[in-house]
Every structure is written in C-alpha cells, then in structure tokens.
Amino acid sequence: SVQAHKEDKPQKPMEVNGLTPAPHSYDYDLIVIGGGSGGLAAAKEAAKYEKKVMVVDFVKPTPQGNSWGLGGTCVNVGCIPKKLMHQAALLGQALQDSRKFGWQFTEEVKHNWMTMTESVQNYIGSLNWGYRVALRDNKVTYENAYGEFVGPHTIKATNKRGVEKLYTAERFLIATGERPRYLGIPGDKEYCISSDDLFSLPYCPGKTLVVGASYVALECAGFLAGLGLDVTVMVRSILLRGFDQDMANKIGEYMKEHGVNFIREFVPTKVEQLEEGTPGRLKVTAKSTTGDRIIEGEYNTVLLAIGRDPCTRKIGLDKVGVNINEKTGKIPVSDEEQTNVPYIYAVGDILQDKLELTPVAIQAGRLLVRRLYAGATTKCDYVNVPTTVFTPLEYGACGYSEETAVEKFGEENIEVYHSHFWPLEWTVPSRDNNKCYAKIICNIQDNERVIGFHVLGPNAGEVTQGFAAAIKCGMTKEQLDNTIGIHPVCAEVCT
C-alpha cells in the first residue's frame, strides 16, 4: 500500500503533455533519483519555482567497500579529485622547472600520497556538506536511500539500514549515472581497484598497472606517473576511442616519453595476489589480442578503467515501462530529455548518444526544469560542447575530430590548419619544443567556418573555453585570422 503524505487541500488535475489524468495527490511534484551533477542542478532549479522536490541518492559500496557522500561522480570520484591530483603532479613538474628560474633548494623533492589525499578528501567533504546545506536551504527533501520504481508514479527508497519507504510524485527525473566496469576475469573484484577507489586510497598505490585507454585511464596513469610512481598502461587496441586519433596518439607519445610504460594490444586474463598489504603485490597475466603470446607482470596496484556502465538495470524501469538499450543500459530520450514514459525524464551520463560531461548534465537538468515549470522552450544544445582531457599534456577540443569531419563533409571540403608551438614557460627549463600542438578544422563550403578546434598544451581547458564560445557564434577562419593574438601566450598560436 502506498504511504501518501496527504495534503490538506486536494491538488488540481495537472495537464501532463496534453493528457488530463484523474486528480491525484502526489507526495512530490518531482522526485530526482540520483544526487549527482544533473540531479542536483535539476532539483535546485525546481525548488526555485516552489515545486515540492525530493532527491534520493545512494552509493552502493565498491567491491573494496568504498563509498561517498552527496554530489555524484564528478564531485566525489571524478572531475574534482582528478583535477586536484593532476594539479599535484603538475606542481611536481613545476618544482623541477623552478630551479632553472632560480629557485634553490637542496632537499630532494618527494611526494606524500596521504597528505594529498587527505586534503583532497577534505575539500570533497566540504562540497558534500555544501550540497546538503543548499538542498535543505532550498527546501528540497534529501534522503540517502536507494530509489527504484515499484509502480506507476511510485518509488521505493531503501536506506543503508534497510528501512523502506514509498514515495509518489507527479514526475520523475532519472539521473543515476554510471559505475566503473570490471573485466569479468578471476581476481578482478577481489584485488583490482577502480577510479571509485583511487581518490580516497588510504595508502600510496605504488607500482601501478592501469588497464584501459579511456581518458580516465590516461588521466590517472598520467598523474600517478607525475607523482613519481612506476606506471604501466595496458591497452587493448586504440587510445581515447571517439576522440581525434591524431591528437590521441600525440598524447600517448608524450606520456611514453615522460615515463609511462605502455603495453599495447594485450588484455589481462587473471589477477592473483602474491602478498597482502597496503599496497600488496599482485601478479597479472595477460594475453595478446593479436596472437597467442602470454605475459606476466607484478604490480602493487591494478587500476581498472575500461569503461563505465549506466545504473539503470536495477531501478525498476521495467515496472514503469521505461525503455532502455538492453545492450548498453543507456536510456534513449527525446530532445527534451523525456523517456518513452511521459512523466519520466532522464539526464546525465545515462543518456544514449549524449556526451558524458558534468556541464552537459547540469545544463540539460536546468533547462528541462525550466521547460516543465517556468514555461521555457529552450532545449539543451548538445552540439559543439567543449571538453578537456587532463593528461600530462592537456588536450582541449570542441567540435569535430578530423576523421569525423572528413567522413561528414569529405576530405576535399575541409581545410585543416595546424601548428606546433613552444610555450614560453617551457623555454628556460628546456622542456619539449615540438610537442604542443594546435589544429583548426574548417568547412570550406561554409565560408571556412571553424567546425573543429583541438589544442594540446598547458592549460588546454582554459584555452579552449573561449574558442568554444566563438565556435558557437559561428566563427569563420577569416574572423579568427582577424582576431589579434595575446602575447606571449599559447592560445595566440590559433589567431
């Protein structure tokens, strides 16, 4: 039976997508399942329009037993700790460079994993708390409970003590995000860690094998190596699938030249524990993808970063008839983020064929809520979304990769302008003079409109953001050429 929190006055029947259902008294106007980037943005926006909103957020512990607070992947085990640890690694490099700029210190510079991790976790804790305060202040009800559909307009929320409660709402927003995929080989869950564990690891990971070639794999491998650890990346086939491959290969080359080992075209077949410990010692056996060769290696830590799977299989979608892609678990939605069930919407990483980025989820969530409750019509624009990969040599991109542009427009119809550059800050410490690189892809048939922007170099994210706005305005090559550069900065290479 449904525990309804009965209002004193009955609610008016609301028009839902043209259908006028029988009058209902729901507990909430909107229940958001998942308190991450998309879910929280939507919840806070809805509260602004005085809607009665609830957020249910729950983190199922990792196989290693790890969990975290409110805020989702980005805040807890994604963008935020990743960028902070990337910064820690960059600072290590800066310390080396600093000697050439006159700084004198005799001590050997060493890195303390625990000091870094405690600082990072402390900051994350303040963000978790900030979200709690923001929700409470905006009168959004929050429950730390696992939400799943049990029937039309109804979810069951189970907290960590197993206590179940039922809640009803006029509309639902699914924003449950994803979790790291495991290999499905012996020893993977028992002995391997994922990005869900890395950023709060209570001991230095030591000699690490990173399995995967995603940006998660390369970013983690990058900063671990930057902190002085012995890092190997085991890649099944190509690096950064989906990204411009010319840029992906340059990223890989740079990492290789800067101390990251790569084992290409191998996949692990089993992981065994040689010695327990923090860290322990693990033996990894791997098989070639192109032949019969078997190799073995010993590592303190094995980090799996082979992909992420949507949390959509165990939330009762079948009970309410929401379609998912059975193979991938992703949810197909209209361009208004509506599922096949009119009162159920979805945002974030779980969406089929949409970018898995925090700002995209936030924008989609906010615009959706404005359309639902404030009469707005603007839809989320998924085109020309900029992004940055925070590998040791950072990569910023917006628009088409070269290969996708060739495929869509034809090689003869695109023009690619490119250049290596040497950041001024790298000259004095004698750092690479031929690694930083920028390329612009233009559509000849459309006034040489800039349809792709790619830059490999320091502060790539900062550089790319402005160009993304220009691309959104339809900047042409001529306009770019007419823009006077700022000197001396890396970005001026584009002008």
Partner 1 sequence: MGWEETQVRGYDEFMRTAQRYHGRPIFALFCGDKDAEGRSWCPDCVTAEPVVRKELHNLPDESVFIYCLVGDRAYWKDPNNEFRRNLKLTGVPTLLKYGTPQKLVEEECFKAELVRMLFTED
| CB of residue 205 to partner 1, shortest distance in Å | 24
Nearer of residues 125 and 277 to partner 1, judged by Cβ: 125
Contact positions with partner 1 (CB under 8 A) in 108-147: 122-123, 125-126, 128-129, 132-133, 136-137, 144
CA torsion angle for 124, 115, 307, 457 (degrees, to 10)?
100
Distances (CA, A) of 484 to 441, 470, 481: 19, 14, 7
User: Which CB, 142 or 167, lies closer to partner 1?
Assistant: 142
Q: Is 38 annotated as a binding residue?
A: no
Task: Tell me if 218 is assigned to a ligand binding site.
Answer: yes
**Minimum gap (Å) between residue 160 Cβ and partner 1:** 9
Q: Which residues contact 15 (CB under 8 A, 6 or more apart)?
A: none
Strand bridging mode 387-389 / 266-275 = unpaired
Residue 246 marked as a ligand binder = no
Q: How many CA atoms lie within 13 A of 254 on its CB side?
A: 28
Apex CA 369: angle with CA 366 and CA 375, to 5°? 120
254 is in an annotated binding site: no
Query: By the 8 A CB rule, do 441 and 357 touch?
Result: no
Q: Closest approach of Cβ 144 to partner 1, in Å?
A: 7
- Whether 214 has a binding-site annotation, put simply, is yes
CB of 129 to partner 1, least distance (A): 5
Please indicate whether residue 487 is annotated as part of the active site: yes
Name which of 98 and 144 has its Cβ closer to partner 1: 144
**Active-site option among 24, 258, 454, 487:** 487
Rounded least distance, CB 117 to partner 1, Å: 15
- Residue position matching structure tokens 């992947």: 73
Nearer to partner 1, 101 or 129 (CB): 129
Residues 170-209 touching partner 1, rule: CB under 8 A, are none
Q: Give the nearest distance from C-beta 98 to partner 1 in angstroms.
A: 26
Which is closer to partner 1, CB of 64 or CB of 144? 144
What is the Cα–Cα distance from 409 to 483, expressed in whole angstroms? 26
Per the annotation, does 110 bind a ligand? no
Q: Is 463 annotated as a binding residue?
A: no
Does 212 appear as a known binding residue? yes
- Residue 137 or 318 having the CB closest to partner 1: 137
Residue 216 annotated as part of some ligand binding site: yes
Residues that contact partner 1, how many (by CB under 8 A): 11
| Per-residue contact flags (x/-) with partner 1 for residues 72 to 111, judged by CB under 8 A | ----------------------------------------
Nearest distance, CB of residue 123 and partner 1, angstroms: 8
Q: How far is residue 405 CA from its own chain's centroid?
A: 24
169 among the known binding-site residues?
Answer: no
Looking at beta carbons only, is 128 or 476 nearer to partner 1?
Answer: 128
Q: Any known ligand binding at 217?
A: yes
Q: Which of residues 19 and 133 has its CB atom nearest to partner 1 in the complex? A: 133
3-state SS of the chain is: CCCCCCCCCCCCCCCECCECCCCCCCCEEEEEECCCHHHHHHHHHHHHCCCCEEEECCCCCCCCCCCCCCCHHHHHHCHHHHHHHHHHHHHHHHHHHHHHHCCCCCCCCCCCHHHHHHHHHHHHHHHHHHHHHHHHHCCCEEECEEEEEEECCEEEEEECCCCEEEEEEEEEEECCCEEECCCCCCCHHHHCEEHHHHCCCCCCCCCEEEECCCHHHHHHHHHHHHCCCCEEEEECCCCCCCCCHHHHHHHHHHHHHCCCEEEECEEEEEEEEEECCCCCEEEEEEEECCCCCEEEEEECEEEECCCEEECCCCCCHHHHCCCCCCCCCCECCCCCCECCCCCEEECCCCECCCCCCHHHHHHHHHHHHHHHHCCCCCCCCCCCCCEEECCCCCEEEEECCHHHHHHHHCHHHEEEEEEEECCHHHHCCCCCCCCEEEEEEEEHHHCCEEEEEEEECCCHHHHHHHHHHHHHCCCEHHHHHCCCCCCCCHHHHHC
Q: Nearer to partner 1 by C-beta: 137 or 407? A: 137
Q: How far is the CB of 268 from partner 1 (least distance, A)?
A: 37
Q: How far is the CB of 136 from partner 1 (least distance, A)?
A: 6
| Residues making up the binding site | 83, 147, 212-219, 307, 349
Catalytic residues: 487
| Residues making up the binding site for FAD | 83, 147, 349
| Residues making up the binding site for NAD(+) | 212-219, 307
Binding site for partner 1 (CB under 8 A): 122-123, 125-126, 128-129, 132-133, 136-137, 144
